[in-house]
Structure 1
């Protein structure tokens, strides 16, 4: 058993080295600067992790210019541009807050002047002869005029402050939206693989065992037919509908992601096989409905499901690996039902968490 494990590790290491060399060789052949952004972009293309990115990259004219690479990277690798986005937002925020401070200072000065002039007019009324109605009326008129001017000034200041607060809220919203794009698949609006990995890290990163959670993987074999260039727009439309279908099929408390291959990963907060099978059936129906086959041009849709639970997966990598093994079994045996990973006679019995913590 140890020899098999070591052999698997050596093979995985060799594959990573070959991929590493292939990425740099491709960058060199295409005369693309091997920057960290370009390396990760090419890694996603060469590894096959992102067929959508690979398709768009293949359509770029040769020689490939840096502007086109930058445009692709901003869409598919937004985390590399976080610093510039946050710097820009910080500058905008500083400008808006400076203007807001000036508006508030202007309002304070205006109120101070009004208070001073009101005090002077009130003093003149108090010291005037009660029988001198002309002086009293003149001061009362001055007070009315000062009050109207102050009211108008206060209204303008409130409007400016409101506009600046809206601008600050918009900046915050832009930053939050950018942060979401790091972990969101743009077409399906589900979490992307980076978001999926983040969720797994949160799940296994706590002090308590991640009890009673299942990972359901779904492989949609029909999507392979849409890799052709002429069908890219059709595929994008289907992906949008699939994302909506997946969102409707899962519970609000569950977590769904678009992983490219296998396409769908769902973290379900239950280990009851009947409930998971029910979700898979609903997901299959929803995915079928996302393909418009009324014109008879769509290929037959095949969905395969594999599942593992945190009782069998003591680490995130184990959980994913076991679900992938179950999915592979479902695909190879053409099984329409969910294939549940079984730890060889253990019957899915819970492992001691502390034995498997990394």
Structure 2
């Protein structure tokens, strides 16, 4: 029986995030409906079939007897989903690294590890071994990533989009620090809101060879965000495609208008970029907002806003979904575990 080579990232077109999610759900639905085991191998096989990137695999699958049996799937997987040598190397190097780290842990717990300046001691040899093993593990992991993640080829026509000053924003840690600072100083009578904006279609740009467009969109959104908000308000990138605005106000009308203005900024920037890159994926904004008039944990405020954002995405709402931060101490502990540490 002829054995086909392992599929690589170039065997099928790059899938956008929403496409991959939809295919993944269909794959899970098929396995469940056919009462087949929900194993990684089964999922990968059905995903490859539904993605329609490998014609031979799809034709072989269509010819299987109905209903599909586990034995047939296993045979098909062994023929078309050949195990990667890079995965085997990763397993070996990971096992060796864990073994060496285990020895290091035992030495540390026993208090017997002494590492003076001169190399060649037992402790120095052990640390050197750990360094080597972890390095090999990382190299093997990179080889696996190179096989599974497509190397994007930059799409031409983006060059002029980078001819602007970079406008960087802080990340989640900066947001958390600012919330703690505001809570410690006392909230104003206007209260505090965290408006999250997820720009659908932004995160996959780099994988599609549109990194300059991605930078352009983020720079534009960051620059205009500071123009739209008050002097005491702040903006952050809380995720690859998630903008967070910390606003000293709780008015639904004001926050909804702010969301509408951000949507227009994204639409205008998308239109400019599309003049040069016709293949630019469609973008859309969704908003979730958490509001409070009392001191709360940073994790509570973000967690509540994140839940509102998820509801907006599920309902495909273009308007913000608003939520008040829960006062239940049990919920506070839950948010702390999910999103961050307790305020100090």
Higher helix share: 1
TM bracket (short chain)? 0.3 to 0.5
Q: Look at both structures and tell me which one has the larger radius of gyration over its CA atoms.
A: 1
Q: Relative contact order: is structure 1 or structure 2 higher (C-alpha 8 Å, sep ≥ 6)?
A: 2
TM-score, normalising length: structure 1:
0.43
